[in-house]
Amino acid sequence: MSGKVYLVGAGPGDPELMTVRGLRCLRQADVVVYDRLVNPALLDEAPARAERVFVGKAPGAHSCAQEEIHAILLRHARAGRTVVRLKGGDPFVFGRGGEEALACLEAGIDWEVVPGVTSATSVPALAGIPLTHRAVSGAFAVVTGHCMEGDRLDWDALARIDTLVVLMGVSRLPLITAHLLRHGRAPETPAAILEKGTLPDERVLIGTLGSIAAETARVGVGTPAILLVGEVVRLREALAPEALLAAAV
């Protein structure tokens, strides 16, 4: 009898931001197949008997090819195990969860997606930057820096979006900002880099579209990090947690 694969979103980093449904699945797992950005504290929520399989990917260093991950999920499910594929953020937002779901479907394996809190919205929010705000931003777009390969993005359209969120784009930051400037976005447009959002060692760099790449290179930024472009960045001055704390004092 085959088991089941749960594609579970672990949230943006802070373990308290995982969903109740995701945590329930994790606590029933026989096997946990997890990514690099999953908070280690969440692994402690799985049963002690559960097998833990690391398949993390970092820029230029993949511990496991995507096809191998598919094979791991299918092998354990065919053995009758409950498999939790634990992924940072949301499985269907640049998490390749769709590919893993299709692999299960084609193999006749029962599967279910458990949505997670995506970093695209939660990290800016907790840093005091709403993605939409009346009279400032009526729309936002989320893209990944990896999609620049082959020029798959419509930069002319993206340059006109009120708020732009770029995931996994730090290594291509000079190219991304150059594209937006070339397609008409003003260099004085506020911009922010949000590094390790929701975690204790989070850093926030504030600048402009014209300056943020140079500032990031100067101070050095690790991953994960998000680029945010738009007038909403100005709201952080009033809405950042530290600003609210100062106001309360």
Quick check: is 35 catalytic?
yes
Catalytic residue, chosen from 35, 87, 90, 196, is 35
Residue 33 token pair: 């197949």
For the four alpha carbons of 211, 220, 147 and 10, in that order, the dihedral sign comes to: negative
15 exposure class (CB count in 10 Å sphere: 0-12, 13-18, 19+): middle
Q: Quick one: three-class SS letters along 139-160?
A: CEEEEEHHHHCCCCCCHHHHCC
Please indicate whether residue 148 is annotated as part of the active site.
no
For residue 4, indicate whether it is catalytic.
no
The candidate with the shortest Cα–Cα distance to 185, out of 193, 176, 195, 194, is 176
Catalytic annotation, pick one of 4, 57, 148, 162: 57
Catalytic residue among 14, 18, 87, 168: 168
Active site residues: 35, 57, 168
